[in-house]
Amino acid sequence: MKRALRFLRRVIAVLVLAVILIINARLYTQSGTTISAHTPIEADVRAQLKFLRRAIESGADADMQRLFPEGRFFMNCLYGLANVEAGLREQENSPLRQHFLDEARWAMARVDSPTNKAVFSQHLHPQYGIFYAGWSATLHAGTLALQSEKARETQEVDTLRARCDEIAAAFTAAQTPYLQAYHGEAWTCDSAAAIFALYACDRILTPSYNSTIERWITAARSLRDPATGLLGHRVHTETGALLDGPRATSMCITIRFLSEASPELGAELYENFREQMMTTRLGLPGVREYPKGVNGSGDVDSGPLLFGISTSATAVTAGVARIVGDTDAAARITQATETLAMPFTWNGDRRHFGGMLPVADAFITWSRTSRPWFSKSPPHKWNPVFPWWWRIPTHLISLVFVIPFIRPLLRRNKETSDDGPRRADTDSANAL
């Protein structure tokens, strides 16, 4: 019995050491750290898209809807946007680009379904609220961006124009740049998504919304948080005044859309975001949910916080960094994400967190495919925001955990060396 227990302890020790070794090795992964805006997505990202498609078909979007109000919407919309950005990396009229277009259209049909719209109010302006209108118009614009002008169907073009006209009219009629997503509630990032949809529509179709975009940018600048230079999280629906200060969950999405729709404002916000939100915990790069000096808890928007770090904002920020040209930050955050999320591939599907939270896979995949749609990444040279030695604290902490599990293995070696002579003496005695 004692021998069996010793063997079990040794097996556990070996397994724990293996996990710790894998975690530390993942800190150096190159997967997703070198991809540019014009190279095809990597094989592991295609495997992530494959997993998401199967998960959605199996009802994962409905499962996520039970966790938070936009779970179904985000699962489908982010899957579609990831396919758009994967397709933009491929040659026009290539079979692979057509595949990504087909997948984006499939996702858009689900986004526009009555089941998906049921969460939102059709009595808002624009209809179903700015969250639904902005994100869905962005996905719609993406499907047209994947097609040549001649290949676009008239109905698709007219529908996008109608979507964007409605959004522009709502911005023009409002007293604030931030429109309602739900009755009496408005978040800055939802209006930023709608502004990007107008910007995309101007690049795809005859330009019509530049004045609307410029007015929005001017108004948003005037409503920045004076302490951080960032936009607020949740705002008053009539005045645009901050109800909740800046938070990474909304700010990273806002910067992602504005970095192309308004490169100057996007760069300003990203620089302040780097200063206020990017940090390390136990050595690992991450994004704090609240600015420096501000404490807060997680909620339905951010999810649980780990030592103040928002895992969802951290995943999205890697994509933001790629778009603005902050390659070092993008690489380091990706390495941290690949370490903590422990992705693995099974039957051609790549999933994170064991596939138990598919909406997390949707955000990570959208981040991995991220690239500017219509412009090159800004030529801005960003200095590294994370120290060169960021991995060392993780290695040292791992060493502390390793030591107790090494002892059973060392004890086994000692017992083997001690038993050797005794067995030899016993054998000699028996022979006599």
With a cut of 60, say whether residue 428 has pLDDT above it: no
Written in H, E and C, the secondary structure of 40-103 is CCCHHHHHHHHHHHHHHHCCHHHHHHCCCCCHHHHHHHHHHHHHHHHHCCCCCCCHHHHHHHHH
Q: Give the DSSP per-residue string, 329-341.
A: HHHHHHHHHHHHS
- Look over the chain and give the mean of its residue pLDDT values, rounded to a whole number: 90
- Taking residues 67-73, report their average pLDDT: 90
Instruction: Enumerate the domain spans of the chain.
Output: 1-28+395-432, 35-390
pTM metric for this prediction: 0.90
Residue with tokens 């992964």: 29
Is the pLDDT score of 110 beyond 50? Answer: yes
Name 259's Cβ contacts closer than 8 Å, sequence gap at least 6. Answer: 266, 267, 270, 320, 323, 324, 372, 378
pLDDT value, residue 150? 94
- CATH top-level class for 35-390? mainly alpha
Q: Is 405 a residue whose pLDDT tops 80? A: no
Per-residue pLDDT reduced to its tens digit, 310-366 = 999 999 999 999 999 999 999 999 999 999 888 999 999 999 989 999 999 999 999
- For the chain, the C-alpha Rg in angstroms (whole number) is 26
Average pLDDT, integer, range 276-296: 95
- 265 Cβ neighbours under 8 A, 6+ residues apart: 217, 220, 221, 258
- 214-269 per-position pLDDT tens digit: 999 999 999 999 999 999 999 999 999 999 999 999 999 999 999 999 999 999 99
Residue 300: how many other CB atoms lie within 10 Å:
10
DSSP-derived letter for residue 383 is P
- The pLDDT of residue 59 is 96
The residue-averaged pLDDT of 85-106 equals: 95
Q: How far apart are CA 121 and CA 132, in angstroms?
A: 10
* Helical residues (DSSP H) of 154-231, grouped into ranges: 154-173, 188-204, 210-222
173: left (phi over 0), alpha (psi -120 to 50) or beta: alpha
Q: What average pLDDT does the segment 268-287 reach?
A: 96
Residue 423 is predicted with a pLDDT of: 46
CA distance 292 to 321: 20
Residues 58-73: what's their mean pLDDT?
93
Cβ 107 vs Cβ 83: under 8 Å: yes
